[in-house]
Amino acid sequence: MSSQTETIRRVTVPQLRARKGADPIVSLTAYHAHTAAIAEKYCDFLLVGDSLGMVMHGMESTVGVSLELMIMHGKAVVRGTKRALVVVDMPFGTYEESPSQAFRNAAKIMKETQCQAVKLEGGARMAETIKFLTERGIPVMAHIGLTPQSTNIMGGFKTQGRDEDEWQFHIDDAVAVAEAGAFAVVVEGVVEPLAEKITQAITVPTIGIGASKTCDGQILVMEDMLGLNDWVPKFVKKFGAVGEAIEDAIASYAEDVKSRAFPTQDNVYGSKK
């Protein structure tokens, strides 16, 4: 009797979009194959975020991240996964100039990484570009509120919407990108009541980060929630203490090397007798 292996299928863009108002969408950032393979057991989609510039490469902001760097990490995440939908960030300077520029670079990302969608920052000002991409077969996740690529203009990573007079601007941004064809909208760093209004105002899922539990899903930087970083933003809950575990393991290794307790006979190869 022959056995058949069940085919594992990735979450699709239409499936994710259909989760509006349904069970909360679970997501994390991912930058390499092995952690992506673990995370996809529990996540609906994984974001290869340009936050990797700060988290993985020690940059002060995401502005210095290159297209080549995003593609390299995107390939690793796709190779490490089978089920989760993979979204890759478009880095600063690769999409703002024109819809044509955005299409060339988004197509390059998708062809070389084999990801299922791209994400770009900006609200109403990017609506034309989002429409251009989606009409040409490139699914787009939008990103509004606190947009890290614009921190030089914002004057840092500042919470958005503290002044209620600003709310309509952010709501209009969300409506514009959703109507342009974005299948989901990341809402970052906005006050909770504004995030709730944005979620109510659009027909596609909102993915909150520093927003509200009323969003249709949540995302965090994996290294932040694992406890790899000493300092994290207020909106991050540390679900682990991986940083401490790594340091303890390295300290034990160093101690064993110095005392010659490692390697033992179990860790070396003998010769033929």
The SS3 call for residue 14 is helix
Cis check: omega of the bond before 263, within 30 degrees of 0: yes
Alpha-carbon distance 22 to 41, whole Å?
19
Alpha-carbon distance 61 to 54, whole Å?
6
Amino acid code (one letter) for 87: V
The SS3 call for residue 138 is coil
With a CB cutoff of 8 Å and minimum separation 6, the contacts of 155 are: none
188 is catalytic: yes
Q: Exactly one of 40, 121, 188, 223 is catalytic; which is it?
A: 188
Sequence length of the chain is 273
For residue 25, give both structure tokens. 């969408």
For residue 265, give both structure tokens. 């006979």
Give catalytic residue positions. Answer: 188
